[in-house]
Amino acid sequence: MSRKTVFVDADILVVGGGMGGCGATYESRYWGRDLKIVCVEKANIERSGAVAQGLYAINCYMGMHWNENQPEDHVRYARNDLMGLVREDLGYDIARHVDATVHKFEEWGLPIMRDPKTGRYQREGKWQIMIHGESYKPIVAEAARKAASEVYNRIMVTHLLMDSRHPNRVAGAVGFNVRNGDFHVFRAKAVIVAAGGASHIFKPRAAGEGMGRTWYAPWSSASAYALPILAGAKMTQMENRIVLTRFKDGYGPVGAYFLHLKTYTQNAYGQDYEAFWRDSIEKLVGDYVNHHPVPTCLRNHALLEEVKAGRGPIRMVTKEAFKDPHKETVGWENFLGMTVGQAVVWASQNIDPKETNPELTTSEPYVMGSHATCSGAWASGPEDYAPAEYQWGYNRMMTVEGLFGAGDTIGGTAHKFSSGSFTEGRIAAKAAVKYVMERSKDRPEISEAEYTQLRKVIYQPLENYRIGRNEIVGGTVSPSYLLPLHGLQRLEKIMDEYVGGISSHYTTNEPLLTRGLELLAMLKEDLALLGASDLHQLQRAWELQHRVLASECVTQHTLFRQETRWPGYYYRADHPHLDDKDWHCFTLSRYDSQTGRWDMEKAPVYHIID
């Protein structure tokens, strides 16, 4: 079938128009008044990404002008939560700029709650401020729309293009329009990847008809990792997947409950269980358990052990707080502003939190770079702050020239959340504009042979389906092709059983990981036989490709780090203790797409802040 090919030239190409991408698009215009700035998004930036449904809190705000917190405090907080391992230079860089970003959000119309007594932003916790955030994403998207030369919605980017004259320099990207099937070739001097995190790489708790229900956005499909990995960028901390404690079945957030409503947890018999596990955790991880606040993974660990000991379910004690009408309103509004589904689950299960303490559970693991976790690309740090070893060019540039990242894409910087991701987009954009300006006459060249070959590969699943569909059995099963859903379920099963998902209590070991890699390799072979019945399924096929590659990266990192650094996120049963002597370091990987080989190495952790 003949398809239109659309060529787009840009100075700066932003891939993904979520929080990081909108920040990057907005800031690119500020520094690059005359540049062509293009944002490409697989959905519609108006309501795309993890913030699509809105949020009830901005989780990263210092409050420097009220002297509430300083950037150094935030670095200490993130470092403690990640058991010592964060890129302090990158975290500091975000923290020192994030307040200005939040002030812009307010200027653009985001209603931020105020404390009636002090007039300051209403704090939910030390770092969080409360917002009426149902329209958070459209407000942020409007700023990006006005700044961009062009926004291309509904284009799924599948591959980055490399400069035909410099093998380690990016030159653009290709993708397809998920509505009309047009093939898009973007040529750009710099590319900023901000394509979100990864859900659905581990088997979710909700299967069957409920499988779309995950905590992280189901459309976060690991492009943020697969695109740089395929281009040869180094990745870091990909083993540091995150597991969330959330309200059962709806994944409703617990932050406002703990911090603002002051609710607390107890086991099935009404006992506080966290203190009970303190000594045994200390034997695993040493003094980290005595730090305040107790790292997120360790709190998960106590919950998991309590359930394994047969004293579940764990419940959030809401009955007391919900007697206060103000707190009751906040409790419900918290869901209505960002996770309506949890309110519906409670209604459908006869749970009135005034009468019944609702159950909590732990989620399946996700891969992200912006929450209490820091997987992602290895990036150069800020010139004025990063140690020499962390600097090889421009701020937030990956190990591929001209390739930048923000938000979930960039590793080593936990706890940036929505505001920090937008801020990181701004930081990356400023550096990308400088990069482009300094090479104004040096436009990278793309190879016609390369994009023509990619065009064939990208649409192949439609062809596989067209030819194989006459052989189907039972409506969906074919000897000649694999449907994206079947491939996804196979991936999730491998990751769940071999790499530390829910069914193995997040536990794995070297033999399991090695076998997992063998099974992933077989799955990768079969991906050439994916069949897509329509453009929607073609998008699913490429989301699966990205998820599989990111999963392989997660597995390689998990195998490489021979310790259990974050109990509660995952366990290496063959190395059950935290080992600061050998593993107080970052793990780095680099994938060679020609040979399929992964090279692993360690990188030092520099503690810049005391």
Ligand X SMILES: Cc1cc2nc3c(=O)[nH]c(=O)nc-3n(C[C@H](O)[C@H](O)[C@H](O)COP(=O)(O)OP(=O)(O)OC[C@H]3O[C@@H](n4cnc5c(N)ncnc54)[C@H](O)[C@@H]3O)c2cc1C
Residues that bind ligand X (CB under 6 A): 15-21, 40-43, 48-51, 55, 57-59, 156-157, 194-196, 215-217, 219-221, 223, 253, 370-371, 407-408, 417-419, 421
Angle between helices 88-107 and 136-147 (to 10 degrees): 90
User: How many whole angstroms from its chain centre is CA 418?
Assistant: 11
| Minimum separation from the CB atom of position 99 to ligand X (A) | 14
For residue 102, give both structure tokens: 């939040």
Give whichever of 78 and 289 is closer to ligand X, judged by the CB atom: 78
Give whichever of 267 and 395 is closer to ligand X, judged by the CB atom: 395
d(CA 581, CA 586): 13
Phi then psi for residue 75, to 5 deg, are -60, -45
d(CA 475, CA 57): 45
Three-state DSSP at 590 gives strand
Give whichever of 17 and 402 is closer to ligand X, judged by the CB atom: 17
Element (H, E) at 574: none
Phi then psi for residue 378, to 5 deg, are -85, 120
d(CA 232, CA 595): 12
Q: Which residues contact 601 (CB under 8 A, 6 or more apart)?
A: 587, 588, 589
Give whichever of 228 and 407 is closer to ligand X, judged by the CB atom: 407
Give whichever of 40 and 379 is closer to ligand X, judged by the CB atom: 40
| Minimum separation from the CB atom of position 13 to ligand X (A) | 11
d(CA 174, CA 351): 48
| Minimum separation from the CB atom of position 390 to ligand X (A) | 21
d(CA 605, CA 84): 9
Which residue is closest to ligand X by CB? 18
Give whichever of 194 and 379 is closer to ligand X, judged by the CB atom: 194
Give whichever of 55 and 261 is closer to ligand X, judged by the CB atom: 55
For residue 129, give both structure tokens: 């401020």
d(CA 155, CA 434): 27
Closest of 556, 555, 579, 559 to residue 567, by C-alpha: 579
Closest of 367, 370, 368 to residue 420, by C-alpha: 370
| Minimum separation from the CB atom of position 107 to ligand X (A) | 18
Give whichever of 176 and 566 is closer to ligand X, judged by the CB atom: 176
